[in-house]
Amino acid sequence: MGKHWVKAVKSVIRHDLHGAYRTYQPGDWFEVRNQELLELLARRLVDTTAHIIKAEFDGKDCGVLALGEATPPETLESYGIEVERELVPTLPWERTMIMSEGCCTTVESVALGLMRVGKDEEFPGWEMAAMLDSTTQLAQDIGGPEDLERTLELVGSLMVPVYNTGLVWVRRTPETETVIQLWSDELGKGADPKHAFIRAIYCQSVKLCTLPAEWIGKWI
């Protein structure tokens, strides 16, 4: 049975099987199954996004860089998004989503992230976007002694959050080229990908849009 993310456009009260309920205010997101989706749409309580994203997204000079055996969504072509495969991160397009092995996502999520790092005349835009790995995890909680020591030395603290490096959206600028080069060089030497990413983004300042852990857009 299919599941869909929807956005409340009016207050929605939902009950679970035990009778507990939760109220969703306009702007909140939640996941529904097919039958509930039809009911909520009929009552005009929610909105879905897939068609809006496709209409708003401009895939010009955009692509997914699949690292190693990463498996990008099959429908990228329908959005005009190209795919290349590499062993370490690079920025082949004006806007690139770097995807690591073991990650899955949807074409809508790829597009949402690429839109997040887009810019236009009105909005100067972010240069990079990446999700936090969890709400509480810190650099001190992951990696081996060598990576921990190197991060402490370069960043100045291990009490910085860990990013999910499975999906990283980047607009090509001199600053992001430096960040990706730093990250790539370290990965080439076998560094822990998450520690290497932390070292890169805290040593080279960049307009990074930090997304919350389990960013809802990942599943849209």
Partner 1 sequence: MDLGVIYVAYGRKAYNEAVASIETLRKFHDWPVLVVGDKPIKGTKHKKLEDPGTHGRWAKVNLHNLTDWKRTLFIDADTRINGNLSLGFTLLDRGFDLVIVPSHPQHNDMLRHLGKQERRITLEELPLDPLQLNTGVMWFGPGSVPLFKLWRQEWVRWKDKDQGALLRALYRHPVNVAILGHPFNSSNGEVIEHKFGACV
Tokens standing for residue 13: 């009260």
- Residue 159 lies near partner 1 (rule: CB under 8 A): yes
Rounded Cα distance between 107 and 163, Å, is: 21
Provide, rounded to whole angstroms, the least separation between the CB of residue 184 and partner 1.
20
Please select the residue that binds partner 1; options are 45, 88, 132, 148, rule is CB under 8 A.
132
At residue 105, the 3 state secondary structure works out as coil
What does the alpha-carbon distance between residue 51 and residue 148 come to, in Å, rounded to a whole number?
A: 44
Cβ atoms of residues 171 and 180 within 8 Å: no
- According to DSSP, the β-strands at 128-132 and 163-171 are antiparallel
Q: Give the three-class secondary structure for 75.
A: helix
Judged by CB under 8 A, the residue of 40, 110, 187, 211 near partner 1 is 211
Query: How many Å apart are CA 4 and CA 217, to the nearest integer?
Result: 12
* Using rule CB under 8 A, residue 220 touches partner 1: yes
Our CB check for partner 1 shows the closer of 66 and 179 to be: 179
Do residues 90 and 184 touch, judged by C-beta distance below 8 A? yes
The residue count for binding partner 1 (CB under 8 A) is 43
Taking the least distance from each CB to partner 1, the nearer of 92 and 212 is 212
Q: Please identify, using beta-carbon distances, which residue of 88 and 155 lies nearer to partner 1.
A: 155
Residue 114: which region, alpha, beta or left (left: phi > 0; alpha: psi -120 to 50)?
Answer: alpha
Which residue(s) pair with 208 in the sheet? 128
Contact flag: residue 126 with partner 1 (CB under 8 A) = yes
Nearer to partner 1, 101 or 214 (CB): 214
Residue 56 binds partner 1, judged by CB under 8 A: no
Would you state the structure tokens that stand for residue 80, as one six-digit string? Answer: 């005009």
| Stretch near partner 1 under the rule CB under 8 A, chosen from 58-66, 72-80, 90-98, 109-117 | 109-117
| 149 contacts partner 1 (rule: CB under 8 A) | no
Task: List contacts with partner 1 (CB under 8 A).
Answer: 24-30, 49, 112, 115-116, 123-127, 132, 135-136, 138-139, 156-157, 159-161, 202-217, 220
